[in-house]
Amino acid sequence: MSVSLIFSGMQPTGNLHLGNYLGALKNWVKLQSQAKCIYCVVDLHAITMPQDPKELRSATREVAAAYLAAGIDADKHILFNQSRVRAHSELAWIFNCVARIGWLNRMTQFKDKAGKNRENALVGLYAYPVLMAADILLYHANGVPVGEDQKQHVELTRDIAQAFNSMFGVEHFPLPEPMILGEATRVMSLRDGTKKMSKSDASDYARINLTDDADTIALKIQKAKTDPHPLPDDVKGLEDRPEADNLLTIYAALADITTAEALGRFAGKTFSEFKKALVELAVSVLGPINAEMRRLKADPGHVDAVLRRGGERATEIAEPILKKTQDIVGFLKD
């Protein structure tokens, strides 16, 4: 299936990190030449975990600034924050009446985030994937570029689309494809190669934030966990060496080459030689993004205007699709 409309989003909760960049944002930038793209700052999703209102506002601007700084073209494509377009919440309610409790019970992200105290988790956290399905289907998007961890949610979106279509005997919603692209679909923690790099890790040394300056990036890479052996000759030699595998994958993704090609450059070398090259590469890729984010931070009026205009353009696409959906369901509208 050829992808004609792309939708994706990130939560404005805490700092964006290298995993968000390599697993998603970098691919989003590339996809702009292949399809119409709608990129969203998902503030409705953010409040599925309690947020401080002031920090939420500032994180929403910061994520939008990261999109722009990485190269999202908000004139050719659409960039907005989710809560501006009411249709997301309205369609999510309809989907709450399509999705099954059994489907949501299988979602691994809910299990991870709710932890042991499930009874105390917010209802919104449980229904999170249903809102995500609404985000995508509200625009009839058929391509969803995400990191590996979101694949299950996109598959649930397909199930919801299919269930809606068959419940009402229509061919209204397309079945969107997850697009899991590039070398670094699951970037791991710098402190433990078996754990995902995440915003919620207690140690800031576990991740590289897009707001980190060159010295901080260098320090974090120097301190990254490794093993005592030199780098292997081929990819097979990375098996059972999660930290080496992760750092090589990060290098490959930053350099836009395969992990095998990256190994070709460093086979037999020590970690200290490799880390020097990795610092240089990471700083050269992330430095300009970081500088542009700082510039945009000083100009919140510009970011707000981009989001406002994006919200208006998103509403124009969403409203007719929501109206049609409401009509199919049987709601009286004039």
Q: Which of 123, 107, 105 is nearest to 49 (CA)?
A: 123
Q: Which is nearer to ligand TYM, 31 or 132 (CB)?
A: 132
Within positions 191 to 250, which residues make up the interface with ligand TYM, using CB under 6 A?
A: 196-197
Q: Which is nearer to ligand TYM, 81 or 290 (CB)?
A: 81
Question: CB of residue 76 vs ligand TYM: minimum separation in angstroms?
Answer: 20
Q: Does 309 bind ligand TYM (CB under 6 A)?
A: no
Give the pair of three-digit tokens for residue 303: 């970011």
Handedness of CA 68, 72, 78, 80 (dihedral sign): negative
Residue 42 near ligand TYM by CB under 6 A: yes
How many residues bind ligand TYM (CB under 6 A)? The answer is 25
Name which of 41 and 296 has its Cβ closer to ligand TYM.
Answer: 41
The three-point CA angle 106-139-15 to 5° equals 65
Of residues 3, 39, 43, 45, which one binds ligand TYM by CB under 6 A?
45
14: Cα within 13 Å, side-chain hemisphere: 13
Say if residues 173 and 5 touch (Cβ distance below 8 Å).
no
Return the residues of window 62-121 that contact ligand TYM according to CB under 6 A: none
Q: Is 124 exposed, middle or buried (0-12, 13-18, 19+ CB in 10 A)?
A: middle
Q: Which is nearer to ligand TYM, 72 or 136 (CB)?
A: 136
Asked if 196 is an active-site residue, the reply is yes
Task: Respond yes or no: is residue 199 known to be catalytic.
Answer: yes
Shortest-Cβ-distance residue relative to ligand TYM: 23
Contacting ligand TYM within 21-40 (CB under 6 A): 23-24
Which residue, 7 or 274, is less far from ligand TYM as judged by CB?
A: 7
Instruction: Supply 162's token pair.
Output: 């299919």
Q: Which of 26, 196, 220, 275 is catalytic?
A: 196
> Using the rule CB under 6 A, which residue among 36, 84, 172, 186 binds ligand TYM?
186
Output the smallest distance, CB 198 to ligand TYM, in A: 6
One symbol per residue from 130 to 169: x for binding ligand TYM (CB under 6 A), - otherwise; what is it?
--x--xx-------x-xx-xx--x----------------
Cα separation, 230 vs 244, whole angstroms: 9
Q: Could you tell me which residues come within 8 angstroms of residue 110 by beta carbon, excluding any fewer than 6 positions away? A: 104, 121, 125, 126, 128, 129
Query: Smallest distance, Å, CB 144 to ligand TYM?
Result: 5
Q: Which is nearer to ligand TYM, 151 or 313 (CB)?
A: 151
Task: Kindly name the residue from 36, 54, 111, 113 that is annotated as catalytic.
Answer: 113
Name the site residues for ligand TYM (rule: CB under 6 A). 7-11, 19-20, 23-24, 42, 45, 132, 135-136, 144, 146-147, 149-150, 153, 185-187, 196-197
**Which residues are known catalytic residues?**
113, 196, 199
